[in-house]
Structure 1
Amino acid sequence: MPHVDRNLPLALVLVITGAAGVLASWVITLDKFKLLEDPNFTPGCSLNPVVSCGNIMKSEQAAVFGFPNPMLGLAAYGVVVCVGMSLLAGARFPRWYWLTLNAGCLFGVGFVTWLQFQSLYRINSLCLWCCLAWAATIVMFWCLTAFNARSGFLPAPAGVRSFLTEFPWVLPVLHIGAVGMLVLTRWWDFWTS
């Protein structure tokens, strides 16, 4: 009988969200290369004045660290996929490893939160591939944080651990729902006209 690791649900979440992030980063990177070759290139996901990936790619915020943001995504999400696949293969990691991964995901969710603000209120456009990366990062962060709290790697009161065991989906759903509401209210007139 094959060995089933107690971390199987987390492993699947990490593989799926990491793969979604890699996909989004890959498509954005390819489109960025095309945009560099031809400044008049219009990405396929530029659908209207609001959903305009080209506007996002041309912004200063698209290369915060001196290189295109999706290149960071390719590396970071690739690591997450590797961790998930390692768990599926039966790997077990020490506390420091989980806390380091959680810190990386905390940076990731902080970064996408900043990018969400920039997209909604400074650039005034959305990129569908960026939205996929945002959702993947949010789910990844909350699921990993819940796992670490339930496992005792992150200190948490018994009530919090119990809640995260019973309802691990609540925090990512609320977080994504809040972002969705911000998007709807930001462009309410556009969506309803």
Structure 2
Amino acid sequence: MSDTHPSPATAGPLDPIDDQVPTRAPGGREFGWVALITGLLGLWASASLAIDYINRLVFGQDYVAACDINPMIGCGLFLDSDAASAFAIPNVVVGVAAFPVVITLAMLLLSRVELPRWIWRGAVVGGLFGIGFVTWLQYQALFVLSGLCPYCLVIWAVMIPLFVHIVARAGEAGALGFSAGVARQLVRNRWIIVVLWYLVVAAAILLVLGEALLAVM
């Protein structure tokens, strides 16, 4: 087999041989920093929620979570809801387990390790699960529970740039079968996509909860 690596953005997405060829997205180091920062923040928020969840189990309804600010902004409302255990296990377990994987990926990228395409694809699958889960939690917060959890907001905030960068850099590494032009546009506009996504979420919060939030401030 030739030692020459295939062109990242044009390699066949399902080629089993190409799956094993180490590739490095040109902006992998920058993505490494994004993954490290978002991973650390996500782990901190998840661990903080886990501590509050355990204390809630131990001390019951008398326990007041550190992030309980008012009836609409706090963790207690969410910890006591059915949405707190979407997969028959506490959601906090998912975050505590997942964000260390993100941090590990970040350290590999910052160390300039070339990753095979199957790892990039795995990162995309994990990112899709994460952003899908966050979107479902956003729906629960806005339309079912009518409140906001500060630690959850941190997780929302880190998952958006993390997911966008995962897709952009995986496409740049040739792991998703995108054309060179599509991959280039994704990378070039990644922060614009992140900002627009933030604006959509902020607008949804203001439209759905704006008046109620002002009333309790």
TM-score, L = length of structure 1: 0.92
Letter in 2 for 1:62: A
Corresponding position of 2:35: 14
Matched, 1:147 2:169: yes
Counting only pairs closer than 5 Å after superposition, residues 37-186 of structure 1 correspond to structure 2 as: 37-39=58-60, 40-186=62-208
* Structure 1 segments (4+ residues) deviating >6 Å: none
Return the index of the structure with the highest Cα Rg.
Answer: 2
CA distance in 2, matches of 1:108, 1:6: 22
> Which structure has more RCO (C-alpha within 8 Å, separation ≥ 6)?
2
Q: Give the deviation of 1:156 after TM superposition.
A: 2.6
For the residue of structure 2 that corresponds to 1:164, the secondary structure is: helix
Q: Give the deviation of 1:162 after TM superposition.
A: 2.8
For the residue of structure 1 that corresponds to 2:190, the secondary structure is: coil
Calculate the aligned-residue CA RMSD, in Å.
1.5
Q: Give the deviation of 1:158 after TM superposition.
A: 4.3
CA distance in 2, matches of 1:145, 1:7: 12
Q: Give the deviation of 1:157 after TM superposition.
A: 4.0
Q: Do the aligned partners of 1:143 and 1:172 also contact (CA within 8 Å) in 2?
A: no
Aligned pair count reads 189
Letter in 2 for 1:65: F
Letter in 1 for 2:40: A
TM-score, L = length of structure 2: 0.82
CA distance in 1, matches of 2:46, 2:173: 31
CA distance in 1, matches of 2:84, 2:73: 16
Q: Give the deviation of 1:179 after TM superposition.
A: 1.0
CA distance in 2, matches of 1:121, 1:38: 29
The 3 A distance-change label for structure 1 pair 97 and 149 is same
CA distance in 2, matches of 1:163, 1:90: 23
The 3 A distance-change label for structure 1 pair 191 and 55 is closer
Query: Gapped runs of 5+ residues in structure 2?
Result: 1-25
